[in-house]
Chains A and B, each alone.
Chain A
């Protein structure tokens, strides 16, 4: 009977081992597990039947105490686990802190208009679903989400209904609405939740026709990412064709001008001026070396910018360019709502910028820099430095200062308050750089501020995580493999051999 028990254990071990080796619970695994289990059950029953002496009171007591000990340990283990589970205490030690939910996500979960459910659609052995499952579990602990998991193969109808293209996709349902999130990160989930919220929509007019940044262009130089982010955050986008505009429409909550490459018609500039005088809102992106007329309009409102390149020696070279011409900013006006939450550890990245000088047009106007380069920054009038690979040298007359790269201003006019936000760069909001560092937060929060949507100002979770997609040079790896990976087992094996030989000769 002991042989039967041992055989049963071997069969179970091989059955399960085959399952893990092949990722398939087939005939071999099934038969082995079944027969092994049966053999083990028969051997155990036989062993128990041999315990005739156990019926004697002294033995019965001994066995009972032992069994009670096991039962108590089981109960204690289950109670410990359940108590710990309900306490919800967990620490996120992951590299990107990807399971520590941001305040923005928590607020979005709490603000939903209806109960939220989520289904994780996965294929067996997709390693990414583990991370997603943990993220959903963390969200469920807030009490605002219920989630389940569904194998894609078992739900082909839902695959079509929700347009699921790949494993590791979450479908969120809130009332009759649903949102499908592929490649779920906290940032992507946050955006999906945001779309469930019933927002009061605002209308942005975006200027076109003078070589501005294109909101429909999807490559790295385009601004389709900004367009999507604005729509997600509750904005309706309309085109403002500057060639034919004589007046800004009344329904415009703000006008956005993204670095025109050619001069804007004078009528359009005048229309924008009149719009601001009526208490309108303007969000302008300007570039060094470009004079489109929008710079002059900004100057009329006290925001002057020299056509010079901001050089910040604190920033290193990017993509083989000259050091200092692509500033990484980490000085913010911390008291200004537009940069709330940004600090020296939450940087923003600009790709060739110009700076501003501020002068109030009227008493009562408030103009302030909100993002600044480092105190060693200076202005270089030579635009060619943008395409140079050599670090520019500061002439003695160029003053070092905290030069502002982004400014925000308010102007009381006609019982209303006009607002202007100006950025000395546009590339930082392009598809290539929008989600770099905290660029997206700076742009969206500034626009929210311009439209007096301060409650919506937040730091958004990242939609992509640092995926560590770089090679570890094989030469280094090989050295480490031979130095640590092989040397250590070799030494251990030598120790085992010496020990065995000593024992043998003893």
Chain B
């Protein structure tokens, strides 16, 4: 247990000692705030436009039902944030395994009393912690602004849970890619490619049959994440994200065997 904790401590020190971690945090928080504020400004303008052109105030029926805080501001921001995370999270995960390999320090790790599984566990846990921090920091401003508008704490919690699980899924994919790459750049690009492909299979639907489309829908990140954004917390979606993390961890674990064989 002690070597495992030592590895966790070391990973945390390396992570928070790197400017890249703070840059990633800054990027996500700033982008979220800017997108959110821009949507909010536009929404206010549209509302005032309707109110002034009809002189009907904000009574029911004056403004089309699809123009509301949730559909016009919060959901689009969360969707954009979902895609933005595909770009940002691999920047955090790219170095986790690949840097060790590039520097040759992975050899030291293998010679400790830690098994490959424990190494993977420690690295995944620390990355998840950082990703959770990132999501909390990026969520605080939109959540507080929207809470003023009365979306409700439970709904916000569901959205945050979805955002967190989505980010953790992307981190898992990024870590699996990093485990197989010697270069950080390749790890990041692979994370982007897999993340983008898994996000939404709408592009494939015209070319495929109903069964294949249903399968692709079932494995797409966007649809799972979207349920949380609507306020639905389903056991199936939770299981999907847990399963994705499990598979990614198994793939990362396999990279150690692969290295022993392929060199």
Complex contact A93–B233 (CB within 8 A): yes
**Complex contact B257–A63 (CB within 8 A):** yes
Number of interface residues, chain B, beta carbon within 8 A:
90
Query: A421 to B18, alpha carbons, bound, how many Å?
Result: 75
Contact A16 B199 (CB under 8 A): yes
In the assembled complex, the CB of A304 is this many whole angstroms from the nearest CB of chain B, namely 36
Which residues of A452-497 are within 8 A (CB) of B? 464, 467-472, 474, 476-477, 480-481, 484-486, 488-489, 492-493, 495-497
Q: Which residues from B are CB-within-8-Å of A90?
A: 232-236
Please tell me which one of the listed residues A81, A124, A477 contacts residue B202 in the complex, with CB atoms under 8 A apart.
A124
**A127 close to B75 (CB less than 8 A):** yes
B33 near A54 with CB under 8 A, answer no
Please state if A20 and B199 are interface contacts (CB–CB under 8 Å).
yes
Distance (Å) between the CB of B13 and the closest chain A CB? 12
Interface residues of A in 180-214 (CB under 8 A from B): 183
Alpha-carbon distance between A89 and B236 when the two chains are bound, in angstroms: 8
Chain A residue nearest in CB terms to B233: A91
Determine whether A62 belongs to the interface, using a CB cutoff of 8 Å to chain B: yes
**Contact between B189 and A9, CB atoms less than 8 A apart:** yes
| B260 interfacial contact with A, CB 8 Å | yes
| Contact, CB under 8 Å: B76 / A127 | yes
Q: Does B110 contact A (CB under 8 A)?
A: no
With A93-B155, A467-B68, A468-B151 as known contacts, state yes or no: A81 contacts B257, CB within 8 Å.
no
| Chain A residues near B44 (CB-CB < 8 A) | 471-472, 474, 477
Task: Say yes or no for A74: interface residue by CB 8 A criterion.
Answer: yes
Given the interface pairs A81-B240, A93-B231, A488-B29, the reply to whether A66 lies near B141 with Cβ below 8 Å is no
Chain A residues with CB under 8 Å of B247's CB are 70, 73-74, 77
A78 touches B40 (CB 8 A): no
Q: Given A73-B246, A78-B243, A496-B26, A477 and B196 touching (CB < 8 A)?
A: no
A53: B residues at CB distance < 8 A: 261-262
Query: In the complex, what distance in Å separates the CA atom of A50 from the CA atom of B261?
Result: 10
Distance to closest chain B CB from A139 (angstroms): 13
| Chain B, interface SS category | helix
Q: Which residues of B lie under 8 Å from residue A12 when comparing CB positions?
A: 193, 196-197
Given A81-B240, A94-B230, A468-B150, A70-B68 contact (CB < 8 Å)? no
Chain A residues closer than 8 Å to B152, beta-carbon distance: 95
Q: How would residues 49 to 75 of chain B score, 1 for a CB under 8 Å from any chain A CB and 0 otherwise? A: 000000000101001011111110001
Q: Enumerate chain B residues within 8 angstroms of A69, measured Cβ to Cβ.
A: 250, 253-254
Number of interface residues of A (CB under 8 A): 80
List, in ascending order, chain B residues with CB within 8 A of A10's CB: 189, 193
Complex CA gap A310/B45 in Å reads 41
A84 located at the interface, meaning its Cβ lies under 8 Å from any Cβ of chain B in the complex: yes
A87 interface residue (CB < 8 Å to B): yes
- Residues of B close to A488: CB separation below 8 A: 29, 33, 137, 140-141
| Bound Cα distance from A59 to B263, whole angstroms | 12
Complex interface residues of chain B between 150 and 164 (CB less than 8 A to chain A): 150-152, 154-155, 157-158
Please state if A20 and B144 are interface contacts (CB–CB under 8 Å): no
A488 to B141, alpha carbons, bound, how many Å?
9
A316 to B256, CA, bound (A): 70
Q: Are B227 and A134 in contact, CB atoms less than 8 angstroms apart? A: yes
- Residue among A20, A59, A65, A470 making CB contact with B196, cutoff 8 Å: A20
Say yes or no: A63 contacts B261, CB within 8 Å: yes
Tell me how far the C-beta of A146 lies from the nearest C-beta in chain B, rounded to whole angstroms: 13
Decide if A261 is an interface residue (CB 8 Å cutoff). no
Q: Is A99 an interface residue (CB 8 A)?
A: yes
Complex interface: chain A residues within 8 A of B171 (CB): none
**Contact A471–B47 (Cβ < 8 Å):** yes
Known: A62-B257, A134-B227, A474-B44. A499 touches B19 (CB 8 A): yes
B205-237 interface bits toward A, Cβ cutoff 8 Å, 1 = contact, 0 = none: 000000000000010000000110011111110
Interface string of A213-254 (1 = CB under 8 A from B): 000000000000000000000000000000000000000000
Bound CA–CA A467/B58 (angstroms)? 11
Given A25-B203, A477-B145, A62 and B261 contact (CB-CB distance below 8 Å): yes
B83 within 8 A of A: yes
CA distance A99 to B183 in the complex (A): 46
Type the 1/0 row for A250-278, where 1 means its CB is closer than 8 Å to any CB of B: 00000000000000000000000000000
Say if the beta carbon of A162 comes within 8 Å of chain B: no
Q: Check B70 against A468 for contact (C-beta < 8 Å).
A: yes
Q: Is the CB of B230 within 8 A of A84?
A: no
Partner among B193, B236, B246 whose Cβ is within 8 Å of the Cβ of A13 = B193
Q: Is the CB of A493 within 8 A of B22?
A: yes
Chain A residues positioned under 8 Å from B254 (CB to CB)? 66-67, 69-70
Task: Report which residue of A93, A131, A467, A486 has the largest number of chain B beta carbons within 10 angstroms of its beta carbon.
Answer: A93
Chain A residues whose C-beta falls within 8 Å of the C-beta of B257 in the assembled complex: 62-63, 65-66
In the complex, the answer to whether A481 meets B37 with C-beta atoms within 8 Å is yes
Residues of A within 8 A of B43 (CB): 471
- Which residues of the other chain, B, contact A376 by a CB distance below 8 angstroms? none
* Chain A nearest Cβ from B242, distance in angstroms: 7
Q: Which residue of A lies closest to B36 (CB)?
A: A485
Determine which of A54, A127, A476, A496 lies in contact with B261 in the assembled complex, contact meaning CB atoms within 8 Å.
A54
Contact B23 A496 (CB under 8 A): yes
Interface centre among A50, A65, A489, A495 (most CB of B within 10 A): A489
B192 at the interface (CB under 8 A from A): yes
Between A and B, 26 residue pairs with Cβ closer than 8 Å are A9-B186, A9-B189, A13-B189, A13-B196, A20-B196, A20-B199, A65-B257, A70-B254, A84-B234, A85-B235, A90-B232, A93-B158, A94-B158, A95-B231, A127-B75, A134-B227, A183-B65, A468-B68, A471-B44, A472-B148, A480-B141, A484-B140, A488-B141, A489-B25, A495-B22, A500-B19
- Having A124-B202, A503-B19, one finds 8 other A-B pairs with CB under 8 Å, namely A59-B260, A63-B258, A98-B231, A130-B226, A134-B227, A472-B40, A477-B41, A489-B33
- Residues of chain A touching chain B, judged by Cβ–Cβ distance below 8 Å, are 2, 5-6, 9-10, 12-13, 16-17, 19-20, 25, 29, 36, 47, 50-51, 53-54, 59, 62-63, 65-67, 69-70, 72-74, 76-78, 80-81, 83-85, 87, 89-95, 98-99, 124, 127-128, 130-131, 134, 183, 464, 467-472, 474, 476-477, 480-481, 484-486, 488-489, 492-493, 495-497, 499-500, 503
